[in-house]
Amino acid sequence: RTMRASRRQIFWIAKLPAAMSEFFAGLRISATYAVVGAVVSEWLGGFVGLGVYMTRVRKSYSYDKMFAVILIISVLSLALMALVSLLRRVSMPWERAERKDQDQ
């Protein structure tokens, strides 16, 4: 405001970059919960998907297949977390520069 910036300039230059760290933290948590939520919803009322398959193999006592599904769900969650972390690194290049300055 002292430099006579407009509201749009204040938002884009100061407020949005300051809030991106919290945004990506929430996105990382919600990415894993989205996978769990999808599987649980398939348990309760789905006709296809990993949750339905998991229920079927549990009822047939095929626990090796059930653990394979759990492994697939875990890998999918980790892949989504890695994707969000990559997106964060690309979207926030100033964090890498700050870390390099602190390491030196």
Q: Quote the Cα angle for 95-97-32, to 5°.
A: 30
Q: Give just the sign of the alpha carbon dihedral 75, 76, 79, 85.
A: negative
The pLDDT, as a whole number, for residue 101 is: 66
Q: Where are the beta strands (DSSP E) in 33-101?
A: none
Query: What's the pTM?
Result: 0.74
| Regions of the chain short of the pLDDT cut 70 | 1-2, 97-104
The pLDDT, as a whole number, for residue 57 is: 87
